[in-house]
Structures are given as structure tokens and as C-alpha cells.
Structure 1
Amino acid sequence: MVRDGDASRRRLLAAATAEFAERGIAGARVDRIAATAEVNKQQMYAWFGSKDGLYDAVLAQQLGRILDAVPFTPDDLPGYAVALYDSYLTDPEMIRLVGVTRLERAPAGDLTTALPGHSDGKHEAIAQAQRDGLVVEGIEPADVYALVIGLAGSWSPLSGTWAASPADPRADHERRRAALRATVARALSPDAGRGGAARPR
């Protein structure tokens, strides 16, 4: 049986996710979050300590969802990029929260330090894939990761050109997925790095 406190906590995190994704940390209002969740504001402070603490909890929850839904596959970076594209369609709040974190908490430098768990082990896994001949050498693993994330976000809610929507025609999504897969493969496969064609997957 689900306890009332568990249900209230879930409602609070859901309301806070929507509020932070839409308004950022500075613009979010704890009164509005508590009212939407039908949770006493004092209880919210007892659980999370502050608005920043609530934001930390929201960010951790959303990152956990993405990390669970999109397993990192250093042996198939094109597939990973396409899976991220799909995750941005189904969970746009996550990428909006990444934008909030960049703007309000880490305006320069390595954003992953502000996103606990976001890159844990990924750089090392890429380095191993490079040693195994699965990813082009000569590019730092951190830069490989940044390139894949950047390409996957080409049509994300933070895009400066075109933000994809689940309502877009299926053919548009398929075209973007194919372009994304091909671009990552050509850029980061060992054969492409030697000037040849990317190896098919």
C-alpha cells in the first residue's frame, strides 16, 4: 500500500519539475509548487530544505529517468544519439532542466559537474572503445561525448533552429534519426577517421 507521504512527495516532484522546466530556478515559486501539488509548504521544506534542494531532487530524478531509459552504448554511438533524440521527444523537461542548470548554475565550463552521475564512467568507456577500435582515436573521450550530446540535441527543446515535437510527421522523425545516425557514424567511426566510409552497423 502506498503511503500518503510517498504520494505527496511524488506530486511535489512532478509539480516542481513542471515549474522549474518552465520558469527556471529564479522564476519558480515554492508557493505555486506546493499549491499545485496540494502539499503543505512546511512539509516541502522538511523534505528538501530549500528551493535549491528541491531543484536538486528534481534534477536527480530526471537524470535517473534518462540514464535508465537511454543506456550509454560506447560501441554504438550513432544508436545512442538516436535514443537521446527520442528521449527528448518523450521527456522534454529533462533537456529544459539542463538548460536551466547551464544558465543559472554553471554558465561556463564542464556542466557535468553540476549533473551528478551524468558522465560517470562514460569517458572511460569511450577511451576503452577507442582502444578496441570501435571509436576513432585522436579525439579526447570528453570531446567525443560532447560531440554526440551536441548532435543528439540538434532538434531538442533548446535548439536554436528547429525544436522537434511528438506531433511532427513520422517521416520527419525518421529523416532526422537517419541523418543523426549517419553523421555520428561518419564523424566518429575509425574508418571515417581514416578518410574511408563509415562501417555499417
Structure 2
Amino acid sequence: MGYDSSATRARLLEAAYEEFVAHGLAGARVERIAKNAPANKQAIYAYFGSKADLFDAVLGARLQVLADVVPFTADDLPAYAGALFDAFIADPDLIRLTQWKTLEKPEASPAELEAHLTKAQAVADAHGTDLETGMDALMIALAAAQSWLFTPPAIRNPTGDDEKSRLKRHRAAVIASVEALAGRLMPAE
């Protein structure tokens, strides 16, 4: 059986995702990634260049999966925030990975900046406002979708509701908050 470089690359990305979620960029070890792939360390450098570049590749790949799962709806930010909430509940490791990114690499990459600017402009165009207002509304939707995920369990569920009821209540709160906050920024239609 011949060598399959695309399979090796995919295994490295998956092993790196698990490593970066667990340890962040600084705490991740190339040796563990290679062992868990299984591949050799040199393959990481050959395919990705550096550990930091591998982190960027993992983050980019995971955000692309998120974009495929949750289509962006510039004209309905509350629904978009609700769908993001669902996706984050389904894959909480993605939030952990983005938290590591924020802590260890707070600067926006050119691709990240372009993605946010494109979405913010779409929001602005859909609601007849300017780019800054579109960006504000977009950031409100993103923050609301993630808000309950950062809250300690005793705070997010003080009444001890069953998990299904709690998630339903929190999802409704996410949608209502985006309707209220982002809606205040947009001109009345």
C-alpha cells in the first residue's frame, strides 16, 4: 500500500485539534501530535511549517466546518446566533480552541479580518447601515451565541433544570438578546 499524504495531513490536523484544545498553542507538544496522528514530527513541519502555522491551519479548518454547518444570514442575526449556539453546544471544543487563540494569538489574521469584514458589510447592506454598525451587530450575535458556554454550571442553571430545558431557555435568551441589542443598532424598516 502506498503513502497517502492527504491522509497523513488529515490525521495530523485531527490530532493537532485535540492537542490544541487540551493544551493551547504554548502547551501543545509536536511530539504528542505526531504520536497521536500517527506520523513523524518532520511531517508536521513539511506540511505546516511550524507549530503556530499548524494551529492556524487547525483553527481555519474548524471555522470552515462551522461556516458549512451554520450558514451566515446577514438579514436575520437572531436566527444566526441561535444556530451558532446549537453548533457550539454540539462541539464545545471549538469554543475552547477559539479561547486559546484569543489568549495566545490575539491579533487577527488577514483571513480572519477579511471574513469578519465581509460578514459585517453584508449585515450593513442587509439593514441599510454602515460597516461599523454592521460589525457591532455581528459581534453582538457572536458574543451572545457563546455567552452561556463560559458560565460556570451553578450560575447557568441555578434552578437545576434538566439539560434539555436549560438549553432551550438559553437558546431563547440568545435569540432575544440579539433581537434587542442588534435590533437597536439597525434602522427601523
Displacement, 1:84? 0.7
For residues 4 and 130 of structure 1, do their structure 2 counterparts lie closer, same or farther at Cα, with a shift above 3 Å needed?
same
* Residue pair 1:74, 1:129 contacting (<8 A) in 2 also: yes
Pair 1:155-2:148 in alignment: yes
User: Counting helix residues as a fraction of each chain, which structure ranks higher?
Assistant: 2
CA distance in 1, matches of 2:98, 2:185: 33
2:54 corresponds in structure 1 to 54
2:36 corresponds in structure 1 to 36
| CA deviation vs aligned residue, 1:85-110 (integer Å, no higher than 9, x gap) | 1111122222222111111111xxx7
1:154 alignment partner, SS class:
helix
* Residue pair 1:112, 1:118 contacting (<8 A) in 2 also: no
Pair 1:67-2:64 in alignment: no
TM-score of the two chains, using structure 2 as the length reference: 0.83
* Residue pair 1:73, 1:80 contacting (<8 A) in 2 also: yes
* Residue pair 1:20, 1:28 contacting (<8 A) in 2 also: yes
1:121 corresponds in structure 2 to 118
Percent identity between the aligned chains?
Answer: 40
1:98 alignment partner, SS class:
helix
Paired AA for residue 34 in structure 2: A
Displacement, 1:124? 0.7
TM-score of the two chains, using structure 1 as the length reference: 0.79
1:145 corresponds in structure 2 to 138
Paired AA for residue 121 in structure 1: T
Extract unaligned runs of 5+ from structure 1: none
| CA deviation vs aligned residue, 1:48-92 (integer Å, no higher than 9, x gap) | 111112111101101111111111111111110011111111222
Paired AA for residue 123 in structure 1: A
CA distance in 1, matches of 2:71, 2:78: 13
**Number of aligned residues:** 182
CA RMSD of aligned residues (A): 2.9
Extract unaligned runs of 5+ from structure 2: 157-161
